[in-house]
Amino acid sequence: MLELCTISKAFLKGQPVLKDISLKVEKGEFLAVLGPSGCGKTTLLRIIAGLEYPDKGDVYINGQAMTHLPAEKRPVNTVFQNYALFPHLTVEENIAFGLKIRKIEKAQIRQKVKEMLSLVHLEGLGKRYPHELSGGQKQRVALARALINEPQLLLLDEPMAALDESLRKKMQVELKKLQRELELTFVMVTHDQEEALAMADRVLLLYNGQIEQEGKPHELYYTPKSRFAAEFIGQNNFFHFSQLAGQEYQFELGRFIFTQKLPPSFTAAIRPEKVHLSTTSVEKSYPVEIRNIIFRGANIFFTAVTHDGFEILGELPAENIQLEEGQEVYIHIREADLVIIA
């Protein structure tokens, strides 16, 4: 469907924005491009849309080279970050814009606009102007305006950024449902890792203009390949292991004996929810004191502090309410829960 081959792009000052990006998106797939601001993800999207051209590399859509085809000639549509609705046009006129440009018959346009309005649940708001709409309604208009052109590929640039928390969650579900039902191909850019993991079939983590990691959401979450990936997606505790002898290693909490052969020195991460507590000392458990318990609905978060003052973040289902601040317990770490990052 979409294929990018070794795309590179630098700004006028020579500063590279994207370095040798290659990727493929299958028909009907939902790809999220995730990364911190300034990582080049919006530039990548603009190159796919044809609003910018790469310095190097090629863009193929449906097997056709489109690298230097301008935006207006590509079978691609975009939902822009702040929706970019035309302020001088009504909702209907905004949605009809693409069809009018293509000189589609008026009756047909009216029919399709009506369909689109009902698809995004905006019946009856067609005569309004953008400034008379709420944030969520604007987003729906932007979506309808793009979808009416039946794009082979829909690009979404931070589509939820302008919405408030609760509306965002609702729209995430709705958007994903729409994508499935209409069997559309989506490429979405976002800085919100939760959103990327929740919505996409596949996530591309971009950092400093390069692909840091690529994979299914659970792969990125459970097996981050770099410290950046581990830090950016979800929360993690990091330990540094150094070899004492054979498979025995020293780390921040004490000693640890691995069952496998490992390099002499490496970093490993463990998710807060994989930090287990026990009241008695068992094998591979370390004494800590519980501090800062934070209640967050279904779960509680706590900080465990070792004698040396090293802090570990943990998470438990909220039913385990017996935990108290100041309590002295043992942390139990399983080898399988440690993700070795190098």
Which residues here bind another protein, judged by CB under 8 A? Answer: 46, 49-51, 53, 70-73, 76-78, 80-82, 84-88, 97-98, 101-102, 129-132, 145-146, 149
3-state secondary structure 183-240: CCCEEEEECCHHHHHHHCCEEEEEECCEEEEEECHHHHHHCCCCHHHHHHCCCCEEEE
Closest approach of Cβ 89 to another protein, in Å? 8
Contact present, 97 and 115 (Cβ < 8 Å): no
Nearer residue to another protein within complex by CB, 66 or 313: 66
Give the shortest CB-41-to-another protein separation in angstroms: 16
Q: How far is the CB of 149 from another protein (least distance, A)?
A: 7
Minimum distance of another protein from residue 148's CB (angstroms):
9
Nearer to another protein, 96 or 203 (CB): 96
Q: Which is nearer to another protein, 158 or 315 (CB)?
A: 158
* Minimum distance of another protein from residue 82's CB (angstroms): 7
103 is written with which tokens? 């000189």
Helix (H) or strand (E) holding 106: helix 106-119
Classify residue 57 as left (phi > 0), alpha (psi -120 to 50) or beta. left
Distance (Å, whole) CA 92 – CA 114: 8
Cβ pair 82, 159 in contact under 8 A: no
Is the torsion defined by CA of 67, 70, 72, 78 positive or negative?
positive
Cβ closest to another protein, residue 98 vs residue 126: 98
- Closer residue to another protein, CB minimum distance, 101 or 173: 101
Least spacing, CB of residue 132 vs another protein, in Å: 8
Nearer to another protein, 50 or 234 (CB): 50
